[in-house]
Amino acid sequence: MASVIEQCQVAPPPGSAAELTLPLTYFDQLWLAIHRMRRILFYKLPISKPDFIQNIIPALKDSLSLALKHYTPLAGNVACPLDSSGYPELRYVTDDFVAVTFSETDMDFNYLIGDHPRDAKDFYHFVPQLAEPKPAPGVQLAPVLAIQVTLFPNLGITIGFTNHHAAGDGATIVGFIRAWALLHKFGGHEQFLANEFIPFYDRSVIKDPHEQGKSIWEEMKKHNLDMRDIVTPSDKVRGTFTITRDDIGKLKNLILSRRPSLTHVTSFIVTCAYVWTCLIKSEDTIGEEIDENVMEFFGCAADCRARFNPPLPPSYFGNCLVGYVARIRHADLGRKEGFTIAVELIRESIQKRMNDEEWILNGSWFKQFSNIGWNRCLSVAGSPKLDLYATDFSWGRPAKLEFVSLDSGNGISMSLSKSKDFDGDLEVGLSLSKTRMNAFAAIFTHGLSFL
C-alpha cells in the first residue's frame, strides 16, 4: 500500500499560459472509448522521507508547473458534448490543473523492478486514478492527466502517470515527461528544452477531405461513452523479457534463410512475430482448447506524422496513429513455420500501407477494426522509438518502466521499449495468468537458446 504525504494541484505559472481549445481530430476521437493509459517510472534514489519532503517535492512541483506552461492541454479536460449537436474538444482554461499525489510505501522496491513474474495488482498502488468527470454547460469535462510520486524510503522513487489517450499519443506524452525531467534536472532553465519538446498545436495540418471526423464521432456516440476512469486491478502477473541485439540478428538470419526474397524485416517485426508465436504455443501448452480454425489477430499502431504531404512536425501535439492488422488461423500460427508466417504477415500489413496517404485519409485503416476479434488479438503498447529510459530527472536513468495499462481490455497487449541496459536490445512486457506466463517464459527462452 501507499500512504499519502501530500495531495496538490499543479498548474502552469500564473499568467504564463493562454486559454486553449483544440478540436479532437479523427485520430483523437478513436480513443474516447478506450481505457486510460498508465505508466510507472522507477528510479533508484536512496533518500529519506525528510529529504523527499524538503527537497524533492518542491522541485518536482516547480518543474512540473513550468512543463505545463508548454503542455497546457494536459492540465485541462476532454470536453465531451452532452447532446448530439456538438463535437468533442480538448480544453484548457485558467485555473485548470493537474492533480498530483505524493506518497510513501514500505513495499519491496527491488521486487517490483524485477523481470520475474510479479502480481499485477501490486502496481496499482503507484498510479493515480483520474478525477470524476464534472458537468459544464453543454458538456462533460474529463481530466486529462494525473500524476503520483511515491517514495520507497532509502531505496527509490516511482513516478506514475495516468492519462486520457484522446489527448495525445505516446509521442506527445513521452515528449511531456521528458520535458518535465529536463526542466527539473536543469533547475527550471527553459533554454535546455530542445525544439523537439516544444509542442506544435495547429490542428489545421490534419487534413480530412473525406470527413472522417464526422463519421468516426457518429460511431463513437454509439458506444454510450463513459468518461469515468474505471480502475479494475488485475489478478494476472507481470513479466519482462529481453530480446538482445544478438537474438534479433539471429531471428533475422533465420527468416533470411527461409525467405531470401523478404526485404525490410525490421527488429520490430521479428520481435513481435516471435512473441506472438510464443503466446500461441503457450496457450496450447497449458491445455486451452482452441478451435484450430479460429482467427488470431495482431495489431500495432504507427506514428504517421511523417506520412502526410507535407509532413507534420514531429512535435505535433495530439494523436497521429494509424493501425495495422494481421490475421491468421490459429493452427497455422502454432505450427513449426508459424514464426516465419507471422513475420510475413506483419511485414506485409505494414509495408503495404506505410506510405499510402490516401488509405489514411479515406478511413480504410479505421474500418478494418470492425472485423477484429479483440479477445483473440495481440496488440502493442509503446515503441522503441519513444525512449522513456532516457528520462533523467537528475537521478540517472530509470531502473524500470512498467505499462500498467497492459492489464486492461480484451485480448493481450505487449509493451515494447528500448532496453534499460544495452543499446540494440528490446524489452517486452506482458500481463498474463500465472500459468500462461510460466508456459510463455519457458517457450520464449527455449526458442532463443536454439537460434
Q: Which residues are catalytic?
A: 165, 392
What angle, rounded to 10 degrees, do the helices at 57-70 and 170-185 form? 130
182 touches 193 (CB < 8 A): yes
Q: How far is CA 365 from CA 27, 291, 301, 302, 311, in A?
A: 11, 28, 10, 11, 19
Distance between CA 247 and CA 377 in Å, rounded? 25
- Whether 153 and 138 have beta carbons less than 8 Å apart is answered as no
Q: Strands, E, within 198-333: which ranges?
A: 237-243, 295-303, 321-329
DSSP-assigned beta bridge partners for residue 241 = 428
271 vs 447: CA distance, rounded Å: 12
Task: Report the amino acid identity of residue 188.
Answer: G
| SS3 state at 170 | helix
Residue 229 to residue 28: CA distance in whole angstroms: 17
Strand 134-136 with 321-329, pairing: unpaired
Q: Which three cell numbers stand for residue 180?
A: 518535465
Q: Report which residue type is found at 307.
A: R
- How far is residue 357 CA from its own chain's centroid? 24
Contact indicator for 137, 125 with CB cutoff of 8 Å: no
Phi, psi for 53 (deg, rounded to 5): -70, -40
